Chain A
Amino acid sequence: MMTELNQASSKNAQPVAQTQVAKVPVNVLIVGVGGQGVIMVSKVLASLCQQQGYEVKQSEVHGMAKRGGSVFSHVRFGEKVYSPTIPVGQADVLVALEWAEGLRWLPYLKPETGIFIADTQKIVPPFACRDRKHGAANGYAKETVADISQMISNCYAADAGTTAAELGNARAANTLLLGMLSTTLDFPESEWRDIISKFVPPKTIDINMQAFDQGREWVERYDPAALAQGQAEAGSVAQQPHQVQFELPVITEAWCKSCDICVKFCPERCLSLNENQVAELTKPELCTLCRICERLCPDFAISLNYKH
């Protein structure tokens, strides 16, 4: 088994699950953020393995089902599977629906031979937002695709979310990842398509099939050399700070009618009514330039001017 897998890693996306060698269970770890569809992806895979005659064990954490929590699912299949969980350093394939979640689970990947498939889309958790000002630094993982591919030889990171959105349904990103996964497991392509069609809503089958193709094509086009130079398509994971182009809110006192809307709606509580019952920016240092006060002032008394 080991030798087979070593060979596999030397070329692009050679199947790890050669049917004849599946005596040792194949471990696939699927991770992401609550609400993304980790469970759906793992169910597709588990059903497919079952159909192919393998014994499958799947265990998942969906305690974080509340949107935004970390969710993972272990899928193990082979002739005989005993434990439902994958030990650290034993995952043959790690599929990440979100970039930082992928990084979090990297220690589970088999050293040298493990295959890392990731969507580069970023879901910044609230606790990583240290400052709500536009363009402010946050605590999100700084590692780029280029960094990771230097550590892991089999790193396939694509901007699945954007590609799927361009196809017309952002949720098809999961299918795109399944397309990428399908190149690493030795199951017939048509079986993949059948099983995916059963799991996705009937109206979206077309888009999902296109996403599946895109995922497969992506792996075929994949060029690790370009990636190492940081020229990969997925380079967009690098931070692009939002340009602060607006000045602090300016209040036209003569127009303000003291309705209190801006004061109550400002998320940072920077506004208050002064002794003349006119709105005033009392805590300018907290203002994030979100423009909610400007939008909801019925008297057009607040404006955030564009910096020329």
Chain B
Amino acid sequence: MSEVDSKFNIRDYLREHMFPHFLCPGCGHGIALRALLWAIDELEIPKDKLAFVSGIGCSGRLGAYIDSNTFHVTHGRPLAFATGLKLARPDLEVIVITGDGDCLAIGGNHLIHACRRNLNITCMMLNNEVYGMTGGQVSPTTSSNRFTTTTPHGNYEPVFDACKLAEAAGAGMVGREITLQTPALKNVLKEGLSHNGFSFVEVMSDCTEVFGRKNELGDSAEMVLTQKSSVRPDGYDNTVEQPFRPNFLKTGVMARNDRPEYAAAYRQHIMSMKEG
């Protein structure tokens, strides 16, 4: 079935009494949430079998709008909570919604260890290059030369490539997509959800009100449209240096491996202890 014929209706998955949501006009996080719920709908995972864990930040708020089991936890710790949840309830499909600051700065250590353990969790990291909720401070993924409240003369710190980090730390599946390409994003998330192991999906999202305004990136529509210019489906390595990105970002599924899944190994270990 082609995407244009999809019968997916997002309202089946929303707590409608919570709407309109608190995100700013044009914020890319809404589009990312649609893609995630769309992927879940296509995989036909029942709502009772889902558990969303989210941290702090604009991204962390998304959990509140999903009509399912949702946990809103402390800053940077959604992966830690999710690990406990998945070990206790392996029957649940545990999905973490986190942001670039939440996942790479405050929760950076949890990310690398979640990748290392390879527990069957799907982590969707919304990368808007900034701490939007707290007023626009520089984050580990802020592109070079960009203005934030804490880098008034432009950012001079190097950028974190979250996907390379996750891949090197051993994540079972790593992918990246932009919100403009919603169907492609849905497909990458679908791959992540179906992979038995830790799946890390980075979504290039737009912070229109804080980051966009500060850097004069134009209105919401313009920001969504220009996403294309910073990504390139392939040929990551042979491109010219860009002023705002270390290089063009690659999109799609970038890595996949079949390392043993942690929960299975954990259970086997418990069984052997009981028998012994």
Partner of B20, one of A289, A295, A296, A299: A299
Q: Which of A238-297 contact B (CB under 8 A)?
A: 245, 254-261, 263-265, 289-291, 295-297
Q: Answer whether A290 and B4 are a contact pair too, CB < 8 Å, given A296-B224, A300-B10, A300-B19.
A: yes
Q: Answer whether A259 and B25 are a contact pair too, CB < 8 Å, given A290-B4, A295-B34, A300-B19.
A: yes
How many angstroms between the C-alpha atoms of A298 and B25 in the bound complex? Answer: 8
List, in ascending order, chain B residues with CB within 8 A of A291's CB. Answer: 3-4
Least distance between A195 CB and chain B CB atoms (Å): 29
List, in ascending order, chain A residues with CB within 8 A of B44's CB. Answer: none
Q: Indicate if the CB atoms of A303 and B25 lie closer than 8 Å.
A: no
Of all chain A residues, the one with the shortest Cβ separation from B8 is: A306
Name, among A259, A260, A297, the residue most crowded by chain B CB atoms within 10 Å (CB to CB): A259
Q: Indicate if the CB atoms of B19 and A261 lie closer than 8 Å.
A: no
List, in ascending order, chain A residues with CB within 8 A of B24's CB. Answer: 257
How many angstroms between the C-alpha atoms of A258 and B29 in the bound complex? Answer: 16
Q: Indicate if the CB atoms of A261 and B182 lie closer than 8 Å.
A: no
List, in ascending order, chain B residues with CB within 8 A of A295's CB. Answer: 31, 34, 182-183
How many angstroms between the C-alpha atoms of A305 and B9 in the bound complex? Answer: 8
Of all chain A residues, the one with the shortest Cβ separation from B14 is: A300
Partner of B220, one of A260, A300, A303: A260
Partner of A259, one of B21, B26, B29, B182: B26
List, in ascending order, chain B residues with CB within 8 A of A261's CB. Answer: 26, 220-221, 224
Q: Indicate if the CB atoms of B29 and A298 lie closer than 8 Å.
A: yes
Q: Answer whether A298 and B19 are a contact pair too, CB < 8 Å, given A261-B220, A291-B4, A306-B9.
A: no
List, in ascending order, chain A residues with CB within 8 A of B21's CB. Answer: 299
Size bracket, chain B contacts: 20 to 34
B63 on interface, CB distance cutoff 8 Å: no
Name, among B5, B7, B28, B222, the residue most crowded by chain A CB atoms within 10 Å (CB to CB): B5
List, in ascending order, chain A residues with CB within 8 A of B161's CB. Answer: none
How many angstroms between the C-alpha atoms of A136 and B219 in the bound complex? Answer: 34
A104 on interface, CB distance cutoff 8 Å: no
List, in ascending order, chain A residues with CB within 8 A of B225's CB. Answer: 264-265
How many angstroms between the C-alpha atoms of A301 and B31 in the bound complex? Answer: 11
List, in ascending order, chain B residues with CB within 8 A of A254's CB. Answer: 19-20
List, in ascending order, chain A residues with CB within 8 A of B182's CB. Answer: 295-296
How many angstroms between the C-alpha atoms of A259 and B27 in the bound complex? Answer: 9
A134 on interface, CB distance cutoff 8 Å: yes
How many angstroms between the C-alpha atoms of A289 and B7 in the bound complex? Answer: 13
Per-position 1/0 for B1-19, Cβ under 8 A of A: 0011101011100100001
Q: Answer whether A255 and B19 are a contact pair too, CB < 8 Å, given A295-B34, A298-B27.
A: yes
Per-position 1/0 for A176-204, Cβ under 8 A of B: 00000000000000000000000000000
B73 on interface, CB distance cutoff 8 Å: no
Q: Answer whether A260 and B14 are a contact pair too, CB < 8 Å, given A295-B182, A300-B34.
A: no
Least distance between B142 CB and chain A CB atoms (Å): 21
B23 on interface, CB distance cutoff 8 Å: yes
Per-position 1/0 for B224-259, Cβ under 8 A of A: 110000000000000000000000000000000000
> What are 18 A-B pairs at a CB distance below 8 A?
A134-B4, A245-B5, A255-B19, A256-B20, A257-B25, A259-B26, A260-B219, A261-B221, A263-B221, A264-B219, A265-B221, A265-B224, A290-B4, A291-B3, A295-B34, A299-B25, A300-B11, A300-B34
Which A residues fall within an 8 A CB radius of B? 134, 245, 254-261, 263-265, 289-291, 295-301, 303, 305-306
Which B residues fall within an 8 A CB radius of A? 3-5, 7, 9-11, 14, 19-21, 23-31, 34, 179-180, 182-183, 208, 219-222, 224-225
